[in-house]
């Protein structure tokens, strides 16, 4: 149970960081384009997966 909680903690932190970063990148690249939302979602998915794979299994 504790391992699960640690992984969830990493995922939540990673999501918050990725949303902030993805929003800035997406807004600057696709400022007036529907692709901005897609870029943010893609950044979120990649960021969370990367964080879980890199950090999640070390806890």
pTM greater than the 0.85 cutoff: no
d(CA 31, CA 35): 9
In the chain, domain spans: 19-59
Q: Contact, 51 vs 14, CB < 8 A?
A: yes
Tens of pLDDT along 8-52? 777 777 777 777 777 777 666 666 566 666 776 777 777 777 777
pLDDT at residue number 19: 75
CA distances from 29 to 25, 40, 43, 48, 49 (A): 6, 11, 13, 21, 22
């Amino acid at each position: 149970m504790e391992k699960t909680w640690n992984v969830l903690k990493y995922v939540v932190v990673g999501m918050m960081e990725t949303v902030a970063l993805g929003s800035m990148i997406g807004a600057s690249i696709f400022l007036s384009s529907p692709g901005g939302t897609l870029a943010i979602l893609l950044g979120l998915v990649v960021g969370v997966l990367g964080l879980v794979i890199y950090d999640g299994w070390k806890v």
